[in-house]
């Protein structure tokens, strides 16, 4: 891949990278299509990164669908699929530590210790392997983009981070590889998450009351349980207590759905 991309760079071609963990869906396809439109060469990495899973059972049940992924990537016009083995990416255990508090220590960082360290380990390696001009990430993982931006600033990497909007199913459920683990009944339940988040934007109440509305309405549905709901400054990810505290305010939620249970994340922009 390096040789191929070096030759592309020598011809003056711009390289777009779409990092993924596979089990691709329409959300990933939208990132790939955007990269194809904006760059000469699009590389998609398909790598289920073990270092970002603090819960090994989550890693074991993560869907693996490489053949179908390649077919979708070809349809979307990606030129290169990079699907390395764990040994290729980590010939030795990665001992590097990335720490960008509070961005990586709140919300997902607090509930999944080590998760963002693993994300930074793999994304920094992918950036070193592919040396992309641009890298595309879905806004569904809102906090992940903030952490990656901090890492890019910190390491002074010459890559433009391109955030892309969440793609939703017709029901409003944010597309996620984990949705395939939901039963049809759980999918119906899960659609309530975005419905309630969206309703909360129309309440026009205080931050505290809006927070409580979302948590109570979701917890009242049998089969859903909120792990956290934080209403934060969209840039620093610090909690806000009033609507005039920041220009960009986002509610970030994680909900357990069903019996397994499957952990789903989503967010809504208030301003
Ligand atoms: O968002 C994901 O799928 C992963 O966290 C990423 C960015 C591909 C790193 O493994």
Minimal-distance CA residue to ligand 1 atom 2 = 20
How far apart are the CA of 145 and the centre of ligand 1, in A? Answer: 10
Is the CB of 122 inside a 6 Å radius of any atom of ligand 1? Answer: yes
Q: How confident is the model at residue 149 (pLDDT cuts 50, 70, 90)?
A: very high
Confidence of residue 240 (pLDDT cuts 50, 70, 90): very high
Q: For position 247, what pLDDT does the model report?
A: 96
Per DSSP bridges, beta strands 249-257 and 134-138 are unpaired
- Which pLDDT score, from 0 to 100, does residue 81 have? 98
Q: Which two tokens stand for residue 74?
A: 């070809």
Query: What is the location of CATH 3.30.1300.10 in the chain?
Result: 177-269
Assess if CATH 3.30.1360.170 describes domain 2-164: no
Positions of CATH 3.40.50.620 in the chain: 2-164
The dihedrals phi and psi of 225, each to the nearest 5 degrees, come to -145, 125
Q: Is the CB of 19 under 6 A from ligand 1?
A: yes
Mutate to test the pocket of ligand 1, among 22, 49, 142 (most ligand atoms within 8 A of CB): 49
**Residue 4 bears catalytic tag:** no
Question: Residue 205's pLDDT is what?
Answer: 96
Mean pLDDT score, 31-38: 98
CA distances from 262 to 62, 69, 118, 183 (A): 11, 22, 21, 10
pLDDT digits (tens, 9 = 90+) for 128-140: 999 999 999 999 9
Quote the percentage of the chain above a pLDDT of 70. Answer: 100
Q: pLDDT category, 11, cuts 50, 70, 90?
A: very high
Q: What are 73's two structure tokens? A: 């990537």
Find the 40 Cα to ligand 1 centroid distance in Å: 23
pLDDT of residue 130: 98
Cα–chain center distance at 51: 15
Report how far residue 23's alpha carbon sits from residue 20's, in angstroms, rounded to the nearest whole number.
Answer: 9
- Using CA of residue 144, residue 150, residue 153, residue 156, what is the dihedral sign? negative
Per-residue confidence (pLDDT) for residue 248, from 0 to 100: 95
Reported as a pLDDT band with limits 50, 70 and 90, residue 89 is very high
Say if CB 219 and CB 196 are below 8 A apart: no
Q: How far is the CA of 21 from the centre of ligand 1 (A)?
A: 6
Quick one: fold of 177-269? 3.30.1300
**Stated pTM of the model:** 0.94
Average pLDDT value over all residues in the chain? 97
Share of the chain above pLDDT 90, in %: 96
Confidence of residue 18 (pLDDT cuts 50, 70, 90): very high
Q: Across residues 95-112, what is the average pLDDT? A: 96
């Amino acid at each position: 891949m390096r040789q191929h991309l070096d030759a592309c760079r020598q011809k003056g071609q711009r390289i777009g990278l779409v990092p993924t963990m596979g089990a691709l869906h329409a959300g990933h396809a939208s990132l790939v299509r955007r990269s194809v439109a904006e760059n000469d060469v699009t590389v998609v990495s398909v790598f289920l990164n073990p270092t970002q899973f603090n819960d090994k059972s989550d890693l074991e049940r993560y869907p693996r669908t490489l053949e179908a992924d390649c077919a979708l990537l070809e349809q979307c016009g990606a030129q290169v699929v990079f699907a390395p083995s764990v040994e290729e990416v980590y010939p030795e255990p990665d001992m590097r530590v990335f720490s960008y508090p509070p961005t990586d220590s709140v919300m997902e960082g607090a509930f999944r210790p080590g998760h963002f360290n693993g994300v930074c380990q793999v994304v920094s390696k992918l950036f070193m392997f592919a040396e992309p001009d641009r890298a595309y990430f879905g806004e569904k993982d809102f906090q992940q983009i903030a952490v990656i931006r901090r890492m890019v600033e910190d390491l002074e990497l010459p890559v433009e981070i391109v955030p892309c909007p969440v793609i939703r199913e017709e029901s409003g459920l944010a597309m996620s590889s984990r949705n395939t683990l939901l039963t049809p009944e759980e999918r119906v339940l899960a659609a309530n998450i975005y419905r309630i988040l969206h309703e909360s934007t129309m309440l026009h109440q205080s931050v505290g009351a809006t927070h409580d509305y979302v948590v109570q309405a979701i917890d009242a549905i049998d089969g859903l349980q909120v792990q956290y709901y934080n209403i934060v400054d969209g840039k620093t990810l610090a909690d806000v207590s009033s609507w005039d505290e920041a220009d960009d305010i986002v509610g970030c939620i994680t909900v357990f759905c069903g019996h397994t249970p499957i952990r789903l994340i989503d967010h809504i922009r208030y301003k």
